[in-house]
Structure 1
């Protein structure tokens, strides 16, 4: 039986689910023994995270707790060496403690395969230092990233270790049915529902386009008396004064996000162009496609590879945002865009294809 030690930050309700849990949970228990090593227990994780919002004493306590918990995990893996060690993003903070580095090298030199996975520009967002990033690149047997831009961040000598694996959703696509779209089409007779799903740190990308959406809401109402609604599913409320756009704030939960998407018509992902956003994996756009939602995303980074002309738009200007929304609001063409979105997801972001990659990685010597 192969032993697999998996270092993650959060539980199955966190974003780690989409990169790690939804695949490794599928490994045959008869052939694999998987041990998940979270940064902290589930109760503490829900209480303390995100730690950036907490008082300084909580930050110190959290760091010490995570340090010793991670240290124990690595020490145990040094004593009882796993066949595969999976690391999602990083162990702790920006800098890898020397004790971690020594233990990790000791584990790897005893023929453990290190699979390192990251899905953001984790240097630009200061999650890890460049030195730590390069150390992981050196030690890893295989590196999983979402797209070529993230691959290019690695030193050239290590780029042959990279496998491109976009983040996708292994549950959502099963909910997309003809019945769902019939309900959406019924709603579309009276209102056009856009949806934005993200964490509060991404709110800075949504706020700049609210005036454009408000203007579009007025144009749409003048055109055929339909309302434009924006559902904001986030762990922070969007507080904006709008004359025409209807904003519905929904506190984020996995179930709430699913229900919101099932009743929406357009998924949006506005971004500002920066080193960090060029590294984003566009997961929400992929999730929208998996449930048959046409998309509008800023023409930044990997968004360009996710959205095709048949399933959405990549606006660069205010007028292009308005045109995209009006076109996707057309009842006759919306159904075609929706069907194309799902088919594009199946061809390019299939969960089953990703699962086979993971199974091959874990099985390889």
Structure 2
């Protein structure tokens, strides 16, 4: 049987970004088993991606950017006649949607558009503010409008996309419990560890819980483990920092017994797909999340985790879990069942096959 060529266009190299790894990369072998030949086109090369957030290296970064734009121009020639194109977020990090416009309006190619954040909303740190006009956030509606199909990570994102494209399907971020998240947290490990994982750009959400943790340190013996790409500057005796590494990601997470996911209620957070909570739950740990966006759909309060909004609610939830090993185990068991039944790759893989075909 002749293989069908599937061109995947994404911002980052394979295996580097959670938005890609847990949106579509974990389905690639399944698609290959169903007669697709995968061609993966990242905007960044592995080398340029590693240099991007390092201090200095301005000349090299400028050269990287120009080289990556050249690679995108060359990619257009490779897409002549392509029948299956899957685009995650955008073809290029910066600038207007020139490549996408040429692809659709001149080359007459169709693509499936996938997004998992409220990427039409400017969201950046003060350090990167001077470059944000180049991001052209206004292009997102056009990318949605020009797509033949749209895959949105949650209902909030789908509602945004529908006025621009009637062919929108919700496909959530999912967890591979057969090949990757195969471990369970050790609920009897001492000292007890509660923790958080994420990039430095979202670490500010932890500011809300730090005073609560500082108070609980006076009563309980626990570790607060932060797994990230940058060490936080929190005055906590319990703080344990660990660099995020892809090769040990699951093992490092499995050392936590309580996972936390604080957020603020705004449009950007509404667009999030609950990935942290899904990871915690897949590893059988009890989790506490803010009642924002898809979190309220994933978590059934008191059954497979806790939903907390106010300072008092967060303190009470943390206190219950720190005190009660039986409760942690019970919530963790139901959390794992929730992932197996509703948020796993095995549940959603046929939807991906239907989307691509």
Give me the TM-score of the superposition, normalised by structure 2. Answer: 0.88
What are the Cα deviations for residues 168-211 of structure 1, in whole angstroms up to 9, with x where unaligned? 2215776546xx45xx2331xx4321120000001111123111
Q: Hey, what's the Cα distance between the residues in 1 that align with 2:269 and 2:136?
A: 18
Partner of 2:167: 161
Q: Is the 8 A contact 2:198 2:227 kept in 1?
A: yes
State the SS of the aligned residue for 2:142.
helix
From 337, 357, 362, the counterpart of 2:356: 362
CA distance, structure 2, for counterparts of residue 172 and residue 200 of structure 1: 29
- SS of equivalent to 2:193: strand
How many angstroms apart in 1 are the aligned matches of 2:96 and 2:29? 28
* CA shift for structure 1 position 273: 2.0
Matches of 2:7 and 2:44, distance apart in 1? 15
- Aligned residue for 1:224? none
Q: 2:326 is matched with which residue: 327, 332, 336?
A: 332
Match of 1:146 among 127, 141, 153: 153
Query: 2: distance between equivalents of 1:185 and 1:5?
Result: 43
Q: Following the alignment from structure 1 to structure 2, what is the Cα–Cα distance between the partners of residues 7 and 259?
A: 30
> How far apart are the structure 1 equivalents of 2:200 and 2:58?
21
1:156 counterpart SS class: coil
User: How far is the alpha carbon of 1:270 from its aligned partner?
Assistant: 1.0
Distance in 1 (CA, whole Å) between partners of 2:6 and 2:116 is 21
1:317 equivalent to 2:310? Answer: yes
The CA distance in 2 between the partners of 1:331 and 1:30, in whole Å, is 44
- Which 10-residue stretch deviates more, 257-266 or 227-236? 257-266
Identify unmatched segments of 5+ residues in structure 1. 222-226
What is residue 126 of structure 2 aligned with on the other side?
none
Counterparts of residues 107-186 of structure 1 (less than 5 Å):
107=107, 109=108, 112-125=109-122, 129=136, 131-158=138-165, 160-171=166-177, 175-176=181-182, 180=184, 184-186=186-188
Q: Aligned-pair RMSD on alpha carbons?
A: 2.3
- Give the superposition deviation at 1:43: 2.6
2:229 is the counterpart of 1:246: no
Instruction: Report the CA distance between 1:275 and its aligned residue.
Output: 1.9
Task: List aligned pairs for 1:208-287, cutoff 5 A.
Answer: 208-219=208-219, 221=220, 227-242=221-236, 245-287=237-279
For 2:106 and 2:92, locate their aligned partners in 1 and report how far apart those are by CA, in whole Å. Answer: 19
Given the superposition, is the C-alpha separation of residues 7 and 175 from structure 1 closer, same or farther in structure 2, using an over 3 Å criterion?
closer
Determine which of 27, 46, 49 is the counterpart of 2:52: 49
Q: Is the 2:45–2:68 contact (alpha carbons within 8 Å) kept by the matching residues of 1?
A: no
Q: Does the CA-based 8 Å contact 1:250-1:256 persist in structure 2?
A: no
Task: Report the Cα distance in structure 2 between the residues aligned to 1:186 and 1:99, rounded to whole angstroms.
Answer: 53
Distance 1:29 1:304 in 2: 35
Secondary structure of the residue aligned to 2:273 is: coil
What SS does the corresponding residue of 1:4 show, helix, strand or coil? strand
For 1:87, the equivalent position in structure 2 comes to 87
The corresponding residue for 1:77 is: 79
Cα distance in 1 between the residues matched to 2:98 and 2:181: 47
Return the offset for 1:115: 0.9
Q: Is the 8 A contact 1:134 1:155 kept in 2?
A: no
Aligned-residue offset at 1:21:
1.5
Cα contact 2:48–2:64 (8 A) shared by 1: no
Aligned to 2:30: 26
Residues 54, 14 of structure 1: alpha-carbon distance in 2 compared, 3 angstrom cutoff: farther
Aligned-pair CA distance for 1:248? 0.6
- The verdict on how the C-alpha distance between 1:292 and 1:41 changes in structure 2, with shifts beyond 3 A counting, is same
Q: Distance in 2 between matches of 1:68 and 1:350?
A: 38
Equivalences, count: 341
Q: TM-score, normalising length from structure 1? A: 0.86
Distance of 1:130 and 1:72 partners within structure 2: 24
